[in-house]
Amino acid sequence: MRSWLFAPGDDEKKLAKAYGSGADVVIVDLEDSVAAAGKAGARRCALAFLQETAQDASRPRRFVRTNAFATGLADADLDAVMTGAPDGIVLPKSAGGADVTALDAKIAVREALHDLADGSTQIAAIATEAAAAIFGLGTYAGASARLAALTWGGEDLATDIGAAVNKDDGGEWTSPFQLARNLCLFGSAAAGLPAIDTVYTNFRDETGLAAECQAAARDGFAGKLAIHPAQVPVINAAFTPSPEALARAKRVVEAFAAAGDAGVVGLDGEMLDQPHLKAAQNLLARAASAGGGKG
Ligand code: COA
Ligand code: MG
């Protein structure tokens, strides 16, 4: 799942547009893009969207971002949307694996109540939105079989630590936010999960977005959050392995097979051993599941 596009949960028009954007995942937002007075309306709108799109065989996945546990709104959010059988829930302001385990239990109860298949609802956690959450990034392994991805956020984190900005004048993340990004990457890999890079908020700047995508894909992120439909094709392109990379990965796998599954082989004058084989296999697996689709 490469592109995860947010649309405000109370905006029917944007939800429809997001749905047709080519995003692998549409995130129906009940949290930060919906004002307090709009929360109830957003729940109704989100449910209608989920119900209208339920039967579409080739649809993107539909996740719902609930409000954070600390707001006291999360249970009512789940009550409202779980009847619509979302493909997943995005947990904001996650402090660590224990929060994911708690959400798992809340989801399980509602799946049972609404006759949904046990375990059918996935979870994606936003894992760096408060200073304390940084210290929970190593705790996601085994938190829930539903957990499908970790992602990070730099806006709430900036507020929490009192940072005036999170990017420098050249558009690069400042040091505290580079640390959060990198630890998200390590925490995800340690838990065996794909890492999804955070939003690029300057949505008119496609060149800057493309550069940030390239860097994220290079470093091991599997996808990126989006806030505008125009960002979706840029993200999808950056996180789809190139034909050259795929061809090379196939040759690496074939070289090991041809050598009778040897520990080490030579290819084009380069030594390749087990980490290279694993990386090639991972790339081929990622390409096979690059798109969204509800399956
Ligand atoms: N999902 C679906 N459609 C969107 C969209 C989104 N995230 N962002 C913009 N659009 C639509 C607009 O409604 C507009 O549609 P129209 O041509 O039919 O009128 C079209 O795309 C072009 O939009 P544009 O004028 O370029 O932007 P805008 O000023 O209308 O919107 C934002 C700018 C930032 C308000 C908007 O992109 C947005 O709401 N983003 C999501 C915010 C969010 O969910 N944040 C929470 C996560 S950080
Ligand atoms: Mg936020």
User: For 253-267, what is each residue's pLDDT tens digit?
Assistant: 999 999 998 899 999
Q: What is the number of the ligand closest to the CA of 198?
A: 1
Q: Whose CA is nearest to atom 33 of ligand 1?
A: 228
What is the distance between the alpha carbons of residues 39 and 9, in angstroms, rounded to a whole number?
9
Say if residue 161 is in the same domain as residue 28. yes
Does ligand 1 come within 6 angstroms of the Cβ of 39? Answer: no
Say if residue 16 is in the same domain as residue 100. yes
Does ligand 1 come within 6 angstroms of the Cβ of 9? Answer: no
DSSP annotation of 263: S
What is the distance between the alpha carbons of residues 160 and 126, in angstroms, rounded to a whole number?
15
Residues with C-beta atoms within 5 A of ion ligand 2:
32, 156
Q: Beta strand pairing status for 270-272 and 265-267?
A: antiparallel
Question: Is 295 contained in some domain?
Answer: no
| pLDDT reported for residue 290 | 63
Question: Is 174 contained in some domain?
Answer: yes
Question: Is 186 contained in some domain?
Answer: yes
Question: Is 163 contained in some domain?
Answer: yes
Average pLDDT of the residues in 76-89: 98
The number of distinct structural domains making up the chain is 2
> Where residue 289 falls among pLDDT bands split at 50, 70, 90?
confident
Say if residue 158 is in the same domain as residue 183. yes
Q: What is the number of the ligand closest to the CA of 154?
A: 2
Which atom of ligand 1 is nearest the CA belonging to 15?
A: 2
Question: Is 228 contained in some domain?
Answer: yes
**Closest to 24 in 3D by CA, of 126, 104, 133, 122:** 122
Question: Is 206 contained in some domain?
Answer: yes
Question: Is 26 contained in some domain?
Answer: yes
Of the candidates 220, 240, 260, which is a domain's last residue? 240
Average pLDDT of the residues in 31-49: 97
Question: Is 294 contained in some domain?
Answer: no
Domain CATH code at residue 31:
3.20.20.60
Say if residue 84 is in the same domain as residue 216. yes
Say if residue 124 is in the same domain as residue 43. yes
Say if residue 120 is in the same domain as residue 135. yes
Q: 216-229: b or e for each residue (b if 16 or more CB lie within 10 Å)?
A: bbeeebbbbbbbbb
Say if residue 195 is in the same domain as residue 271. no
Query: Is pLDDT at 53 greater than 90 in this prediction?
Result: yes
Does ligand 1 come within 6 angstroms of the Cβ of 92? Answer: no
Which atom of ligand 1 is nearest the CA belonging to 31?
A: 46
Does ligand 1 come within 6 angstroms of the Cβ of 33? Answer: yes
Say if residue 36 is in the same domain as residue 178. yes
Query: Is pLDDT at 182 greater than 60 in this prediction?
Result: yes
Q: Whose CA is nearest to atom 15 of ligand 1?
A: 14
Q: What is the number of the ligand closest to the CA of 22?
A: 1
Say if residue 165 is in the same domain as residue 222. yes
| pLDDT reported for residue 288 | 80
Say if residue 106 is in the same domain as residue 214. yes
Say if residue 76 is in the same domain as residue 188. yes
Say if residue 160 is in the same domain as residue 263. no
Q: Which residue has the tokens 């209208």?
A: 52
Q: Which domain holds residue 100?
A: 3-240
The overall average pLDDT reported for the chain is: 95
